[in-house]
Structures are given as C-alpha cells and as structure tokens.
Amino acid sequence: MKPAPTLSTAFLHPAGQSLPEPLLALRKQRGTALVDMPLPTRKTENWKYSSKYLKLTDDMAISLPAEGKTGSSLAVPGYKVAFLNGVMMPEACEYPDLDGISIKSFGDLSDDEASDLADRLDSTLDNKAVQMARLNSARFEDGLLIRLKPDAVLDQPLFIVHEVTAEASGSAFPRIFVDAGRHSQITLVEEYISSGSAQVMVNTVTEFNVAEGANITSVRLNMEGENVQHIGSTGVLQQRSSRFESHTVGFGGPLRRHDLQVRLEGEGAECKLNGVVVTQGKQHYDNHTTIEHVAAHCNSEETYRNIAADQSHAVFNGRIHIHQDAQKSNADMNNKNLLLSNGAEIDTKPELEIYADDVKCAHGATIGQLDEISLFYLVSRGIGRREANVLLTMAFINELVEQIPIEAVRETVQGRLNHFFEQAFQEA
C-alpha cells in the first residue's frame, strides 16, 4: 500500500518574523509538530468528498507578500480593519479608540499580551477535526486580536476584510482571535476577497471566546475568485447564558472548506448557525459544522442551504454531540439542498451523538430540484422561465438572506447571487 501523502516540508517555513517573541515561539513549536503531517485523502472521513480538490503543491507554500493596496467590495457604515495576504494594513483601517474595546494586530502586542495570547491560541478548536487549522498556527504572520471588557458594546459592526493578492502562487494565513468579556456585545463581519488570478491558498482560523452573557453576531462572506483555495476554521467557546449567532454565505471555488465548531460549555448558552452556499461551473464548497452540547440547558439552532448548479459539488456535514451531562439540551439542525442540474452533486450528512437522556434533538436533510408545478404556475402568469427559475431559487434561501443583520451586506450578497443566477440560468 502506498503511504499516505504528507504535507510538503516547503510549507513549514513561515516568512515574516515581525511578531512578538512568544508568538514566534508558539509558531515554531506548532511547525515542528507538523512534520510528516498526513494530508487528508478520500479515506479521511471528514475530507471524504473534498480531498480530491485539495492541491498543496510546493509553489503554494510561499507566503504571499504583504504589500499593495486593498479594496473591499463592501461600501458600508461601520468600523473597518483591512488585511492583505494575512497582514494588517493600518492605513486602510478605520476605527476609533473605544472605551473597553481593544482592536490590535498581533504585531502590535506587548510581550505580555502576546504571551497570554500564545497560551490561548487554538484553544477553541478540536485540532484532530480541523487538521488544516494547524497549518495556520504554524504559518500565521499577523492576526487580529479583539478584546472586549465586561459590558463593552461595540456600537457599530466591525468589518474585517481579508484580501489575498494572487499575482503569483502562494498562500496567506489570516487569523482572528476574539475575547468577548462578560455581557459584552459585538457584530463582526469577515469578508474574504481576492485579486489576481494565480493559484493561491487561503488558510484561516477565527476564534471566539464568549464569556458569560456575551452576545456575538458573526457574518462570514466567502467571495474569493476562481483561483483561490480556501480552507477556513472557526472555533467558538461559549460560557453560561452567552449567545453566538453566525451567518455564513459562501460562493464556490476550486476548493472551499469551512469548519465551524461551537462548544456550549456554560448552562443556558445558545447558538444559531445559518449558512448559504451556492456553487456553479465546476466549483466546490464544503461546510463541516460541529456543535458540542457540553453543559445542560443549552440551545442550538442550525439552518444550512446549498444550491448547486452545472457540474458543481457542495458538501454539508453537521455534527451535534450532546454530552452526558447536557440534560435539557435543545438542538435543531436543518439542511436543505437544491440541485439545479443533473450534473451537480450534493453530499449531506447529519451526525447526531446523544449521551444525555432528556434532550430535544431534531434534524432534517433533504435534496431536491426546483418544483415543476411551481414553475408552471409562475410561467402561466406570463413570467419568463429564467425569471421564474430565479424567483424559485431565491425563495429557497430568502429566509436566510433576510436574516443577515446588515443591509449593506445583504445587498452585497444579493449582487453576487444575481451574478450567480445570470450564469446558472441562461435565457432559453
């Protein structure tokens, strides 16, 4: 038998050395642990449908240079932080000094702050389940640390734009760490975009530490180009009575992967996870979510929708794990999928593991096509076939798009969806 392929050593050399010493040390230690790391193959359960899209050739191992200009597609009211190829661009950031809220690049941290952060990086993620997040820990060159003191409330959304410039092949390793103190509140938008057309990889990690009673709304927009492999992980650790709400919207690419892991560690914590994915052409997108009900009396609600056109391939894997002590858990997971062509593929797998005996746990997964009778009804009123298709496809995700909390974001998403529809439904 052929030995499993391992991560090329070319990937084990981070470029930038401008981080505080404790973070450099951590990065080095994580890098050492990656030697001979097996790459996911189709026999790796959580990469079964996606490993064939993963292409980590040596030319991808180079760190993309942190220079140039950034331009977000979001013209939005709010505070802005811009990263280029994983490194913060101070001149493109706009946010005031805020009482009780600290927004800093990793590079600007004092040694004490960096040492504290180094102790806590990766603590929200199950590294066995997110193999590729470990690569980020060995390679990040900068990052964003957001700390909210108890009761601090960010009065406007914070937009974090992560742009990758693909003039030549290489990789970028964006990283965000959020520390939300007791009863603090923040709405945060991560937007991933790209320019240039070389084959590149973006490997992200975002972590949320959500203290008692804190309330976080997170929006994640995956808007990168056709040349970008994106492998992202988000870890969320929730304490008592906290709330985490997530809206992820993703457009397909050569490889798109997002792992979202939420741990409900304190009683009364709740999370709501919404996701919309659209793919076309030969694009791919894979969402893997895990919700750990560790403490009792927690609620989770998850709604994901995939739409796959042409020969594209979408994957959803939703795991809910209810621990033995997590009595009175309430978990509801729903995944619906729409195939717009015979050549498209969607793989969906709900996974429930329940060890407590007094819980409510519901799940549903469906895969279908546009309803012929609905289509006939619309066209019988003179509505063109293309427009009828668009109306019905939009109807499939409308409920989720409408829940995205910021109007400017909804408009950006709608603009991208319209572009998708133009490609997916050619005028007959």
Sign of CA dihedral 223, 141, 167, 312: negative
Which of 25, 153, 392, 408: binder of other proteins (CB under 8 A)? 392
Interface region with other proteins, contact rule CB under 8 A, candidates 69-77, 102-110, 321-329, 376-384: 376-384
Estimate the crossing angle of helix 407-424 against helix 385-403, to 10 degrees.
150
- Minimum distance of other proteins from residue 334's CB (angstroms): 14
Which of 53, 159, 396, 425: binder of other proteins (CB under 8 A)? 396
Structural tokens at position 25: 């040390």
- Burial environment of residue 39 by CB neighbours within 10 A (0 to 12, 13 to 18, 19 or more): middle
Estimate the crossing angle of helix 111-120 against helix 21-33, to 10 degrees.
30
Interaction between residue 422 and other proteins (CB under 8 A): no
Which of 5, 364, 384, 415: binder of other proteins (CB under 8 A)? 384
Euclidean distance between CA atoms 326 and 294, whole angstroms: 5
Euclidean distance between CA atoms 256 and 280, whole angstroms: 13
Interface region with other proteins, contact rule CB under 8 A, candidates 80-88, 93-101, 310-318, 375-383: 375-383
Compute the C-alpha angle 384/386/389, nearest 5°. Answer: 110
Are the CB atoms for 304 and 289 separated by under 8 Å? yes
Which of 91, 128, 373, 427: binder of other proteins (CB under 8 A)? 373
Nearer to other proteins, 88 or 339 (CB): 339
Count of residues interacting with other proteins (CB under 8 A): 24
Q: What are phi and psi of 144, to 5 degrees?
A: -120, 125
| Chain residues 96-155 in contact with other proteins, contact rule CB under 8 A | none
Which of 198, 365, 383, 408: binder of other proteins (CB under 8 A)? 383
Interface region with other proteins, contact rule CB under 8 A, candidates 165-173, 241-249, 334-342, 372-380: 372-380
Q: 10 Å Cβ neighbour count for 113?
A: 18
Instruction: Find the helix or strand (DSSP H, E) in which 235 lies.
Output: strand 228-238
- Would you call 60 helix, strand, or coil by DSSP? helix
- Minimum distance of other proteins from residue 380's CB (angstroms): 5
Interaction between residue 391 and other proteins (CB under 8 A): yes
Instruction: Look at residues 124, 83, 123 and name the one whose alpha carbon lies nearest to residue 107.
Output: 83
Interaction between residue 380 and other proteins (CB under 8 A): yes
Sign of CA dihedral 31, 190, 163, 18: negative
- Would you call 206 helix, strand, or coil by DSSP? strand
Nearer to other proteins, 385 or 419 (CB): 385
Nearer to other proteins, 17 or 380 (CB): 380
Residue pointed to by tokens 């391992």: 6
- Minimum distance of other proteins from residue 379's CB (angstroms): 4
Q: What is the dihedral of CA 369, 374, 376, 380, to 10 degrees?
A: -150
Which of 374, 414, 418, 423: binder of other proteins (CB under 8 A)? 374
Interface region with other proteins, contact rule CB under 8 A, candidates 41-49, 58-66, 172-180, 365-373: 365-373
- Minimum distance of other proteins from residue 411's CB (angstroms): 16
Which of 376, 415, 418, 423: binder of other proteins (CB under 8 A)? 376
Interaction between residue 355 and other proteins (CB under 8 A): no
Nearer to other proteins, 354 or 383 (CB): 383
Nearer to other proteins, 92 or 383 (CB): 383
Rg of the chain on CA atoms, in Å: 21
- Minimum distance of other proteins from residue 395's CB (angstroms): 3
Interface region with other proteins, contact rule CB under 8 A, candidates 203-211, 325-333, 359-367, 395-403: 395-403
Interaction between residue 62 and other proteins (CB under 8 A): no
Q: What are phi and psi of 94, to 5 degrees?
A: -140, 100
Euclidean distance between CA atoms 190 and 382, whole angstroms: 41
Give the footprint of other proteins on this chain (CB under 8 A): 371-374, 376-385, 387-388, 391-392, 394-399
